[in-house]
Amino acid sequence: MVADLLLNAIVSGIMLGGFYAAVSVGLAISFGMLDIGNLAHPAFVILGSFCVYVLNQHWGIDPILGAVLMTPFFFALGAALYEVYHFSFERRGEEGLRGLAFFFGILFITEVALILGFGVDYRFVQAPYIDVTWHIGDVDLAWRTLLPCLVALAMIGALQLFMSKTYIGRAILAVAQDSLALRLMSINPARVKLIAFALSIATASIAGALLIVIQPVEPSIGRDYIGRVFAIVVLGGMGSFPGMLAAALLLGVAESLTSTFYGPSWAPAVSFGILLLTLAFRPAGILGRT
Amino acid sequence: MRNRTFWLVTALVVIAVFAASRLVTNDYFFFAAYVVLQYVVLATAWNILGGYTGYINFGTAGFFAIGAYATVVLHQLWGPPIPLLILVGGILSGLVGLGMGVLTLRLKGVFFAIGTLALAIVVQTFVTNWDYVGGSRGVYVIRPAAAPFFGAYIHYLFFVMLVLAGLSVAIARSIEHSTLGFGLAAVRDDEQAAEAAGVPTLKLKLVATTLSGALMGMAGAPLPYYVTYLDPSSGFNLAYAVNAIAMPLVGGMTSWIGPLIGAIFLGVIQQAATVTISSSLNLLLVGAVLVFFVVAAPNGLIGLTFRRRGKAPATPGAAT
Amino acid sequence: MTEALLEVRGLGKRFGGFVALEDIALDVHRGERVGLIGPNGSGKSTLVNCLSGIQRHDAGSVRFDGRAFDGLPAYQRTRLGLARSFQLPKPFRSLTVVQNLHVPLLFTAKHRGGAMLSTAEIDARCEELLAMVSLQDKANARPRDLTQIEMRKLELARAMAAAPKLLIADEAMAGLSHSEVDDILALLVKLNQSGVTVILIEHIMRAVMSFSQRLVCLVAGKKIADGAPQDVVRNPDVERAYLGE
């Protein structure tokens, strides 16, 4: 019996981890590669959830399809946000802490705006696959967690290809390492960062859809994710996608095991605790970044 | 003005304000004023680490709630008087601040900031799972009906918070004009250069973190008696974190006056807004003000006034 | 032979897979004027960082004034008499010029035997230092109002405020005009004459040649030459490092 429980906890942990990776990939770009401490990233994920909820509620649009439709808007939103950030902070060289305070304010405003707009009730979406569960041996695979995990992996895979194969993608990787060299190649680093940051917010749209498929959403859930995503990005070695994925899976399994054997109310302590320990002992992450 | 004089003046101001308050008949004033004074303490405490040292703390709620929940525990055990509760809250929060500093202060400011957020949530999770203090259901604390000499208990709470506010402001100013404050300014301006100049940066940062945390814990200690019902979602409310940052930012981060002005300004606005509009809209306002000031007026209100007069903002400096 | 003021043995430093310094041995004696040269990326700045304590070395040992320095944090090394100036000036921007000097004066003075300096002593010392670098009339200015060379001078004055036994001047003259270079050079010579041992890290060869009693050359993290300046510059390895194969 316990073996059953354990196996299921691990499997759902892996699927949860895949989803966490989707939420974190945006931050892996903005914080890991661009050094922009975007504390508000989870708020955009929640915003994505609510957008998808509205599309689903009023027009019956499938959540994941809805997210894809919203992606251009989120991209534009990210671009606009970066412009403000760049103009106010990066230009003046004060990005570090004032930038953090800025995003913290944005996080807060977004959450409160959603409360004002939608109230504090939990919202959920309806889709044909949400209640389907496959049973393979002793393992239960619920579509509501399996599908987001698969979509997440697909999205991350696509981004990885984009980063390594396309001109812009490689420019983004380059700006992460050496923006001076980029400038010497007459590529404007600010433009590249703009695209990268906008991309990171665009991923939030998709992550939001995945979230609301997995569980009902209310505005303040974003806060639980701040620790998780930062833990995953730091543990994963900042800009590295493979590292981030590994960290996300690790965290997902750890939380799932904690939830199963100690209760779900302890789950936040797992991710934030891991974050603290990572910061204390290995800020370069598990795969190490020199 | 010498430090000793400032402490004396502060004490006189506290007494004067208290004396004036005896003339107020509407009890609601005391409830509102308590909150504003509480924010004076939180904003001033935050600024010791944020404005003077340059390290941003997002976990104000955690330190604040440690003080509040320490009171809950002690209240259920034997119910000591408030001054003792404040002392205990301060010591516990101070120790937590020290511990967190040891874990994260060797890293860049960004990682420290994220660490503070993590700490607040870890503490919140522990409290939520601790049935002795009510867990997620919360706990009721009976507020005594009256206090000797003060009359209604809320008058006593008001006085306590007034004293704490005066204390925190006086401490902040003392730091500003001390060698410690000078060292912190050097750390804030350029940590590597400070270290190369013989400043024990880690030690000073730990002092700042401990002191800041302790003051926040002291501000939280009387809270259970003020609200009479305490649960984790209100005790750890993000509003504390946002306000603790917004108030020094709005008022000005380089001197003790900034958090005081910011706390009074934003605190009064919020009290008025909560009554007239909704409390959510009021929070939206704070967030918007924070973003606006961070972007447009990073030196806060005192920065704006001094710039207009052509004078540089006051800097913490050793008395020479 | 008395112990050298600074004794470095087998010093090594890596960043992940990259070896920045390997097996560096160096002796600097009291009162010496040592020049340190090497192409960009040869490890000079890393060496300074490891000596001053901003970075921890991975291998080897550093002894200063008869005392082991390994593991000591940077601020303690400064208090014990080893000071450095930064290649890109790092002034305390919210403080005035004279306040910039107050910082090391307040934080190092009492650690070299004696009580905290009195206000009068601090003021006197600041005047001395400012006069030495000709910044007296800029005492109450902010760093942002200073010119490049004035900031370099402030940088040096701040390092000197710690009353060091050994000063490492890290490329203090980069980008300055001919006469400005002479100014800084004269300043460093004066410092040395007052008893301060100086290690000068520089690319400007005429300055290094005229200043140094001894020249050390680093290439790709290793020391390849150490001796009289005329000999070192004629060393074929040194020539190759600068002019290429």
Name the more confident of C116 and B95: B95
Burial of B28 per CB tally in 10 Å (0-12, 13-18, 19+)? exposed
Q: What is the pLDDT of residue C112?
A: 64
Residues of C in contact with B201 (CB under 8 A): 75
Cβ–Cβ contact C102 with B under 8 A: yes
Among A102, A115, A265, select the one facing B128 at the smallest CB separation: A265
What's the rounded Cα separation, in Å, for the pair A183 and B118?
37
Residues of A in contact with B246 (CB under 8 A): 105
Q: Please give the average per-residue pLDDT across B232-240, as a whole number.
A: 82
Closest residue of A to C18, CA-based?
A290
CATH (residue range C6-90+153-243): 3.40.50.300
Query: pLDDT at residue C10 above 80?
Result: yes
Confidence of residue B308 (pLDDT cuts 50, 70, 90): very low
Give domain limits for chain C. Answer: 6-90+153-243
Mutation for testing the C interface, residue in B176, B189, B202 having most C CBs under 10 Å = B189
Q: Please give the average per-residue pLDDT across B230-239, as a whole number.
A: 83
Whether residue B136 and residue A84 make contact (CB cut-off 8 A), yes or no, is: no
Q: Which of B267, B209, B206 is nearest to B47 (CA)?
A: B209
Q: What is the pLDDT of residue C244?
A: 60
Whether residue A279 and residue B286 make contact (CB cut-off 8 A), yes or no, is: no
Q: Please give the average per-residue pLDDT across B263-287, as a whole number.
A: 81
Q: Which of B313, B293, B287, B214 is nearest to B249 (CA)?
A: B293
Residues of C in contact with B105 (CB under 8 A): none
pLDDT tens-place string over residues B279-289: 677 778 888 88
Q: B295: which 2 tokens?
A: 């972007």
Residues of C in contact with B198 (CB under 8 A): 75, 78-79, 103-104, 107-108, 111, 162
Q: Residue C9, Cα to own-chain centre: how many angstroms?
A: 19
Query: pLDDT at residue A241 above 50?
Result: yes
Mutation for testing the A interface, residue in B60, B125, B137, B274 having most A CBs under 10 Å = B125
Query: pLDDT at residue B204 above 90?
Result: yes
DSSP of B74-94, one letter per residue? HHHHT---HHHHHHHHHHHHH
Q: What is the pLDDT of residue A200?
A: 95
Q: Which of A147, A158, A155 is nearest to A21 (CA)?
A: A155
Measured at the CA of C61, the angle between CA C55 and CA C64, to 5 degrees, comes to 90
Cβ atoms of B157 and B98 closer than 8 Å: no
Cβ–Cβ contact C165 with B under 8 A: no
Among A88, A109, A230, select the one facing B287 at the smallest CB separation: A109
Query: pLDDT at residue A287 above 70?
Result: no
Closest residue of B to C142, CA-based?
B312
Give domain limits for chain B. Answer: 3-236
The identity of residue A283, as a single letter, is P
Name the more confident of B214 and B234: B214
Among B122, B125, B288, select the one facing A276 at the smallest CB separation: B122
Q: Which of C112, C105, C129, C9 is nearest to C62 (CA)?
A: C9
Query: pLDDT at residue C1 above 70?
Result: no
* Contacts for C147 with CB less than 8 Å, ≥ 6 apart: none
Q: What is the pLDDT of residue B320?
A: 33
Name the more confident of B317 and A237: A237
Q: CA A164, A169, A173, A176: dihedral to nearest 10 degrees?
A: -170
pLDDT tens-place string over residues C171-181: 888 888 898 88
Q: What is the pLDDT of residue A289?
A: 41
Is the torsion defined by CA of A104, A288, A179, C172 positive or negative? positive
Which segments within chain A are labelled E, that is strand?
133-136, 139-142
Mutation for testing the C interface, residue in B179, B184, B199 having most C CBs under 10 Å = B199
Q: What is the pLDDT of residue B149?
A: 83
Whether residue A269 and residue B122 make contact (CB cut-off 8 A), yes or no, is: yes
Which domains, ranges and CATH numbers included, belong to chain A? 2-281 (1.10.3470)
Among C52, C95, C119, select the one facing B185 at the smallest CB separation: C95
What's the rounded Cα separation, in Å, for the pair A189 and A176?
10
What's the rounded Cα separation, in Å, for the pair C242 and C233?
10
A39-48, A183-192, B232-241, C108-117: segment of lowest average pLDDT: C108-117
Q: Residue B183, Cα to own-chain centre: how many angstroms?
A: 22
Cβ atoms of C53 and C73 closer than 8 Å: yes
Query: pLDDT at residue A107 above 70?
Result: yes
A237-241, B45-49, B89-93, C94-98: segment of lowest average pLDDT: A237-241
Query: pLDDT at residue B118 above 90?
Result: no
User: What subunits touch chain C, counting only 3 or more CB pairs under 8 A?
Assistant: A, B
CA distance C177 to chain B (A): 26
Measured at the CA of A234, the angle between CA A230 and CA A238, to 5 degrees, comes to 110
Q: What is the pLDDT of residue C116?
A: 66
Query: pLDDT at residue A169 above 60?
Result: yes
Closest residue of A to C17, CA-based?
A290
Residues of C in contact with A290 (CB under 8 A): 15-18
Query: pLDDT at residue A138 above 80?
Result: no
What is the interface size between A and B, counted as CB pairs within 8 Å? 126
Name the more confident of C188 and A142: C188
Q: Please give the average per-residue pLDDT across B183-192, as a whole number.
A: 92
Query: pLDDT at residue B314 above 60?
Result: no
Cβ atoms of A23 and A212 closer than 8 Å: no
Measured at the CA of C203, the angle between CA C40 and CA C158, to 5 degrees, comes to 100
pLDDT tens-place string over residues C103-148: 999 898 777 665 667 778 888 889 989 998 889 898 899 998 999 8
Among A84, A101, A227, select the one facing B121 at the smallest CB separation: A227
Among C74, C94, C107, select the one facing B183 at the smallest CB separation: C107
Residues of B in contact with A36 (CB under 8 A): none
Q: Count the alpha carbons within 13 Å of B103 in the hemisphere toward its beta carbon.
A: 22
Closest residue of B to C81, CA-based?
B198
B99-113, C28-42, C227-241: segment of lowest average pLDDT: B99-113
Q: A102: which 2 tokens?
A: 């800025």
ipTM for the predicted complex comes to 0.90
Closest residue of B to A110, CA-based?
B284
